[in-house]
Structure 1
Amino acid sequence: MTHPRRGASENQRALQEAIKDLIVRRGLAPGSLLPTESELMAELSVSRHPLREAIKALQALGIVDIRHGLGTYVGTPSFSPLEAGLTFHSHLSLHGDLRDIGDLVQIREVLETGLVRQVLAQIDDADIDTLENAVSTMEREAAQGHYSPEADWLFHKTLYQPLRNDLISDLLRVFWSVFDKVNAQLPRTEDKPEAAAAAHRAILTALRGGDPEVLAAAMADHFTDIRERISRVPRR
């Protein structure tokens, strides 16, 4: 016998899938207006309450966008739910075994060491001047004992612009932003600002040098200080 709550949950998931299928079948693009609530109720053979619950669930996932007084629209791609979830679990990780933070750093390292090779193939489109300015800012700030997260992100954002892949840029921004939120709570190495600036200078130098192996190695070395700081957090 199916438990009532389990049955209701399964019905909700089925309804959410039906709404997503309707969007795909009709070829509705991000920003397109969905049918009215009455039309959806009729087409999906569902009552108002479960339909609204399904719409709210899809809104939380960024699949639809409810604009009060205007209607419900197909949502635009967003990593906000992912960023919120990763940030929460990373903060929890600081008080646990650090697995989530370590996993986050590992994913970003694997992603970036692979992507820089592709950037090298598009080197003519690289904004070397902006990369140089970002590194120079980090070096000036480091000389005064300060770390510049704005210059750090500007460097990474600019580095991958030649790929012309907004999805990569958005995903890296999420990983970078989540780590930046817990960064201040990790133990500091004595040369933290200097080490960060030097790591970015090495990446830029390798990019100018044009050797893909040297460039990938420089990017991997960039994460050495981060791994060292994570290793210093007392395990609970």
Structure 2
Amino acid sequence: MAGGGKLLQDKVVDLILESGLGPGAPLPSEPQLMAQFGASRNSIRETLRALHTLGIVDIRHGYGTFVGEAPVTALLPGLLFRARQSARQDASTLADFLQLRRILETALISEVPHRADDELIGELESCIAEMRSGDVVEADRRFHQALYRPVGNEIAVQLIDLFWTVYHRVEAEIDPPEVVRDEIGDEHQRIVDAIRAGDCDAAAEEMTRHFSDIERRSRRFVDEQQ
């Protein structure tokens, strides 16, 4: 049964690709899909629901089924479940997600200084001001979401936000971190200063230092759980 369901999902995906259907384009109706694939209505509906969960199709009740955008964030429920499950046995799961963020961000940051404008600098400094006086976690998230927007790699930005979300959700659930507002604000300000100066090497160095500090703050909990 599982194998047949997977095969039908592949057929629907192939139909979308081979027909050149882009995001938002309507899919054939359920009766048309039933006739084309020789499948029952229940099988078609189960397949479309599964693809909807992955973001591959968008089911709009009363309107039909359309091609989705398949955002990377569709992976969040599965990754978050796995991280929460693993973290209770081995806290190094947090370190794994942090490592993934570090790889992506330290690779991209050197492209930001020459593409940043005053509007981006202002947005980043607004986030830093909130880190010092408001919701540190949410401000940090907005900072990292905005930081790589000029690079133009949407998938990388979504992945960074995905790994950020999983890491912070699990960290907060297992062991809420101590908030060090000035230290966190200063780390992010040094990154912005390097960007404003157009210094790619300095921006990369400051991002590397930032992640070293995050890893240092996280290591205590990881060591305690081993």
Question: Is TM-score (shorter-chain normalized) higher than 0.5?
Answer: yes
Of 144, 160, 183 in structure 2, the residue corresponding to residue 195 of structure 1 is 183
Cα distance in 2 between the residues matched to 1:183 and 1:225: 16
Helix, strand or coil at the partner of 2:193 = helix
> Which residue identity is paired with 1:48?
R
Deviation at 1:187, TM superposition (A): 6.0
Deviation at 1:219, TM superposition (A): 0.5
8 Å Cα contact 1:41/1:51 also seen in 2: yes
8 Å Cα contact 2:34/2:44 also seen in 1: yes
Cα distance in 1 between the residues matched to 2:216 and 2:199: 27
TM-score of the superposed pair, with normalisation by structure 2: 0.87
Task: For structure 2, list consecutive stretches of 5 or more residues without a partner in the other structure.
Answer: none
8 Å Cα contact 2:112/2:148 also seen in 1: yes
Deviation at 1:164, TM superposition (A): 3.0
1:186 aligns with 2:179: no
Cα distance in 2 between the residues matched to 1:116 and 1:126: 17
> Which residue identity is paired with 2:225?
R
How many pairs are equivalent? 223
Larger CA deviation: 214-223 vs 45-54: 45-54
Deviation at 1:204, TM superposition (A): 1.2
Q: Tell me the residue number matched to 2:25.
A: 32
Q: Tell me the residue number matched to 1:9.
A: 2
Deviation at 1:125, TM superposition (A): 6.9
Deviation at 1:180, TM superposition (A): 2.6
1:14-38 deviations in Å (ceiling 9; x for gaps): 2111111111111111111111111
8 Å Cα contact 2:25/2:67 also seen in 1: yes
The 5-angstrom pairing of residues 48-63 of structure 1 reads 48-63=41-56
Identity %: 38
Cα distance in 2 between the residues matched to 1:80 and 1:188: 24
Q: Which has the larger radius of gyration?
A: 1
> Which residue identity is paired with 2:48?
I
1:166 aligns with 2:154: yes
> Which residue identity is paired with 1:215?
A
Q: Tell me the residue number matched to 1:106.
A: 99
Q: 1:232 to 1:187 in 2, by over 3 A?
A: farther
Helix, strand or coil at the partner of 1:73 = strand
Cα distance in 2 between the residues matched to 1:222 and 1:64: 38
1:114-146 deviations in Å (ceiling 9; x for gaps): 11111123134762122222223323x2xxxx6
Task: For structure 1, list consecutive stretches of 5 or more residues without a partner in the other structure.
Answer: 1-7
1:67 aligns with 2:60: yes
Moved >3 Å (runs of 4+): 123-126, 185-189
Q: 1:174 to 1:122 in 2, by over 3 A?
A: same
Q: 1:30 to 1:159 in 2, by over 3 A?
A: same
Helix, strand or coil at the partner of 1:65 = strand
Q: Tell me the residue number matched to 1:5.
A: none
Q: Tell me the residue number matched to 1:209.
A: 197
Cα distance in 1 between the residues matched to 2:3 and 2:27: 23
> Which residue identity is paired with 1:101?
L
- Compute the RMSD of aligned alpha carbons: 2.2
Cα distance in 1 between the residues matched to 2:169 and 2:155: 21
Deviation at 1:148, TM superposition (A): 1.6
Larger CA deviation: 75-84 vs 38-47: 75-84
8 Å Cα contact 1:86/1:178 also seen in 2: yes
1:130 aligns with 2:128: no
